[in-house]
Amino acid sequence: MFRTKAIALVAGMVTLLAGSASFAAVTHATVTGGEVEGRLADGIVAYKGIPFAAPPVGPLRWKAPQPVSKWSGVHQATDFGPACMQAPAMLAMLGSKAAISEDCLYLNVWTGAATLHERRPVMVWIYGGGFSAGLTDSPSYDGTAFAKQGVVLVSIAYRVGPFGFLADPALTREGRGSSGNYGLQDMIAGLEWVKQNIAQFGGDPSRVTIFGESAGGIAVSMLAASPAAKGLFQRAISESGGSFGPPLKGTEAGANVRTLADAEALGKGFLAKLGANDIAAARALPAAKIQAAMGPGLTTTFWPNFDGKVLLGDQYLLYSNGQFNDTPVLIGTNSDEGALFARPGVTPASFEAQVRAGYGARADEVLKAYPHADDAQVKLASKRLFRDSTFAWPTWTWATLQSQHGRSKAWVYYFDRRSPQSPDGASHASEIGFVFGTLAVPGPLGGPATAGDRKLSELINRYWVNFATSGNPNGQGLPVWPAFDASTQQSMVFDTMPGAQLLPNLPQLKAMDDYFSWRRGNDSGG
């Protein structure tokens, strides 16, 4: 009996030691640059503020991200890194307490893996903010809920505004024919870091899903067409984002991406206003002076451009020719996206003037699609036109092109969860708390979460996790989500009774499609 008890005691000690070893493997990791230590809470280890590239300061301002420098000792990855340079007011709006700095290329990892060998699906979050704001430390982006569902969640920082997207002829010469897409290159560097290091956190580098919202969703669509990102991800999720319009040439509606030449002219003029005679002088300017020249709010002044390297050109044409990174995509928009951007005081007359100025020869067709006879109608028309031209048409077009020219499938959603604060539909970014399971965090929806909200959040989170796991959102016990087909136009509508339906704004999307077809043909001389 003594021998039996001794054997049992030794076995128990071996088990305990084995458990301690696996526990240590979770809280410590050796990554590019050195060793990092995270913090365990409620079964999830969070690593915050891991550097993935050299600080883009001094001579590295307006350069592609450079390799991270090695550090000695153990980096305590317990606090988020600084937010990239942007208007300070944006941090308060996003619930952030971060400092603001040019030294901002850090990422974060949440994992519940017990060993290094689990090969869990990986999801990489790309924040929104109009390419002029955004950060990783917003409480809405906490990765704990995803990690509890078996995902290794990563969020990456990228440069925004003039620091991330300023082009200039001299910078183009430095960049061997490319400049102004530094923020996108930061994302690519972050994905390269994930490919090289995520196995240290129990993640599977061959099963990576990129996902983002607004500008982050637009960036996801850009990476889906970028040869520089090929092979760095195997699935893509875009919430309220896509980039399928023709190049911006003036004030035409629905276009945001400039040619490299036009972006260079804009950047050169901006630096001249700052009194910088050359790039060396511009790099010597204080970062705060450059940021101050942008003003306090969001702006689309600095945006990714068609440089021919990171972004080859018009994504509609690229997809039509089969030139894209063919992965499954899960993409969608919210029902009242335009509420956040609507201009106050719009009238039927001012709405008509706006449409005629932006939509050219297709203005009449657009006006018919958006009834605007009185104040009540025009308020809705203004919001819905912004929703469709900026978010919904690019998403619908992406799904159509993917289903027609790709081997992988597309799944489309329409988020329509309403609240007393948002009676006309779900506002821009209001799905984020549902996706991340962070409904307790104040956000665009406003008000406390209801039992119905929590149930919908669990449903959406399961779809997203299923998609990251297998490339298909469907799973046992969930309403069937059919893959998108241009002939059936089925999408998953997330409202009080989630289920597959026709897209509610399909007539307006077809009016937008007619406009963009005309615009593309007109711009090319057709």
Q: Does residue 7 form part of some domain?
A: no
- Asked if residue 359 and residue 306 are part of one domain, the reply reads no
CA 289 to chain centre: 28
Residue 304: inside a domain: yes
Is 263 found in the same domain as 124? yes
Say yes or no: 355 and 213 in one domain. Answer: no
pLDDT recorded at residue 169: 98
Are 268 and 368 found together in one domain? no
Joined together, the tokens standing for residue 33 give 């640059």
Residue 443 pLDDT? 52
Quick check: is 214 catalytic? Answer: yes
Are 318 and 359 in a shared domain? no
Domain membership flag for residue 140: yes
Among 327, 347, 382, the domain boundary falls at 327
Q: Which of 214, 221, 382, 457 is catalytic?
A: 214
pLDDT computed for residue 153 by the predictor? 98
Query: Counting Cβ atoms within 10 Å, is residue 285 exposed (0-12), middle (13-18) or buried (19+)?
Result: middle
Same domain, 69 and 130: yes
Q: Which of the residues 427, 428, 430, 431 is marked catalytic?
A: 428
Q: What is the pLDDT of residue 10?
A: 36
* Type of residue at 287: A
337 annotated active-site: yes
> Is residue 208 domain-shared with residue 348, that is, in the same domain?
no
Q: Do 295 and 310 share a domain, yes or no?
A: yes
> What is the C-alpha separation between 424 and 377, in angstroms, rounded?
12
Tell me if 342 is assigned to some domain: yes
Query: What pTM does this model have?
Result: 0.94
User: Domain end: 327, 352, 382, which one?
Assistant: 327
Radius of gyration over alpha carbons of the chain, in Å?
24
**Opening angle at CA 86, ends 82 and 89, nearest 5:** 100
Whether 400 and 476 share a structural domain: yes
> 113 and 126: one domain?
yes
CA distance 258 to 250: 9
* Residue 351 belongs to domain spanning: 331-426+464-526
Q: Tell me, what CATH number does 294's domain have?
A: 3.40.50.1820
Domain total of the chain: 2
- 122 - beta bridge partners? 152, 208
List of residues 6+ apart from 184 with CB closer than 8 A = 158, 219, 222, 223, 226, 304, 310, 311
10-residue mean pLDDT profile of the chain (526 residues): values are: 38 36 65 97 96 98 97 97 93 87 98 93 98 95 97 98 98 97 98 98 98 98 98 98 95 94 97 96 97 83 96 98 98 96 93 96 97 97 97 98 98 95 93 94 65 96 98 97 95 96 96 96 58
| Residue 17: per-residue pLDDT | 34
Same domain, 291 and 336: no
Residue 470 lies in a domain: yes
pLDDT of residue 286: 98
Identify whether residues 203 and 347 lie together within a single domain.
no
Q: Which of 213, 239, 337, 431 is an active site residue? A: 337
Q: Is residue 37 assigned to a domain?
A: yes
Q: Where are the beta strands (DSSP E) in 89-177?
A: 106-111, 120-126, 152-156
- With respect to residue 372, please indicate whether it lies within any of the assigned structural domains: yes
Spatial distance between the Cα atoms of 267 and 269, rounded to a whole number of angstroms: 5
Measured between alpha carbons, how far is residue 76 from residues 48, 102, 280 in Å?
8, 21, 35
Q: What tokens appear for 298 in the block?
A: 């969001």
Last residue of a domain, one of 285, 305, 327: 327
pLDDT of res. 13: 35
Sheet holding 28-31, edge to edge: 28-31, 34-37, 74-76
Tell me, what's the pLDDT at 447? 65
428 is catalytic: yes
Does residue 122 lie in a domain region?
A: yes
